[in-house]
Amino acid sequence: MAINKITPLVSIITPSYNCVATIEKTINSVISQTMGDWEMLIVDDCSTDHSREIIKNISVIEPRVKLIEQAWNAGPAIARNIAIEHAQGRYIAFLDADDQWHPTKLEKQLKFMNEKDIALSYTAYNCLDSDGNHLRVYKPILKVTYADMLKSNRIGCLTAIYDTHKIGKVYMPNISKRQDLGLWLRILKLVDYALGMDEVLADYLAVQANSVSSNKADAAKYQWRLYREIEKLNFKQSTFYFLNYAYLGLKKSS
């Protein structure tokens, strides 16, 4: 599709750190979109491998891919926020450097957002292992509120798009984990709900943790911190939502 606007319609936010094995496929999944009015802002967070050179080489050929180079490793929240700050598009979309989109993702999701007149949307997605084998499909509930998201993160970051014309630019909280959930919560304080699409439009690379139990304990710790330090919930509220989070997590893994 020809690019006929100076200002892109969609800005795609991609933090990148030592992703030499995946970044080219990720970028190509964006270049292959049937909707071509986009810019892809890749913030390299001081990589020590050759991923930065791969991005540079692609950006020479494809000017819609824009590399922003960090001088120090700041972490994914700051990297994403730097990209959001530089974004020129009406819509802000997210895609990590090891995930991929299906070709019609932007076209279908933007049509959905316009038809439903909503500020935040998301879709179903595939979960893949490191070899690209299909593990499962994540099918989200199709309408979420702030309270729903406090109980469990229902939105896959690689599928989310929000409309800056409706809510302005909204940034992620500067925390080392759960920053995407923090962003959805911020947005859902501004609007009544977000809507999801039941269609699979992206592929998520599921990281295989060395210790499932320690990984879950770490996730639970950050979930509690999100309630108390970011959302400023009182102890009773935090306990209520944490128990829901734990129950839904056990239900999902059973």
Domain boundaries, the chain: 10-205, 212-253
Interval 62-114: pLDDT, tens: 999 999 999 888 899 999 999 999 999 999 999 999 999 999 999 999 999 99
Length of the chain counted residue by residue: 254
Interval 127-177: pLDDT, tens: 999 888 999 999 999 999 999 999 999 999 999 999 999 999 999 998 888
Query: 147 vs 11, 87, 131, CA distance in Å?
Result: 28, 29, 36
Out of 25-39, 118-132, 237-251, which region has the weakest mean confidence (pLDDT)?
A: 237-251
CA gap 38, 93 in Å, rounded: 10
Give domain 10-205's CATH superfamily.
Spore Coat Polysaccharide Biosynthesis Protein SpsA; Chain A (3.90.550.10)
